[in-house]
Structure 1
Amino acid sequence: MNLAEIPLFAMLRDRLGHLSERQRVIAQNVANAETAGYVAQDVKPFAVQAQLHGARGAPTLMAATQAGHMHPKSERRLSTVAVKAVAAPGSETTLNGNAVVLEEEMMKMSEARMNYDAAIGFYQKSMNILRTAARAPSR
Structure 2
Amino acid sequence: MGFSDLPLLDQIKGRMSWLDERQRVIAQNVANSDTPGYVGRDLKAPTDFAAALRDGGALQMTRTSANHIAPPVPQNRFHTSAAPDSETTLDGNTVVVEEQMLKMAESRMAYDAAISFYQKSMNMLRMAARGPGR
Q: How many Å separate the matches in 2 of 1:74 and 1:5?
A: 16
Task: State the secondary structure of the residue aligned to 2:86.
Answer: coil
Cα-to-partner distance string for 1:14-36 (whole Å, 9 max, x where unaligned): 10000000000000000000000
Deviation at 1:3, TM superposition (A): 3.4
Amino acid paired to 2:28: Q
Q: Does 1:86 align with 2:86?
A: no
Q: Read off the aligned partner of 2:64 and give its amino acid letter.
A: S
- Which residue in 1 is equivalent to 2:120? 125
Letter paired with 2:126: R
For residues 14 and 90 of structure 1, the distance between their equivalents in structure 2, rounded to whole angstroms, comes to 27
Structure 1, unmatched stretches of 5+, are 62-71
Matches within 5 A, 1:1-139: 1-45=1-45, 47=47, 49-50=48-49, 54-55=53-54, 74=64, 82-138=77-133
Count of aligned pairs: 121
For the aligned residue pairs, the C-alpha RMSD in angstroms reads 2.7
SS of the aligned residue for 2:81 comes to strand
1:38-88: CA deviation from partner (whole Å, max 9, x where unpaired):
0000000254x439x7339xx978xxxxxxxxxx9839xxxx781111110
Ranges of 4+ aligned residues in structure 1 off by more than 2 Å: 2-5, 53-56, 72-75
**What is the Cα deviation at residue 37 of structure 1?**
0.4
TM-score by length of 1: 0.76
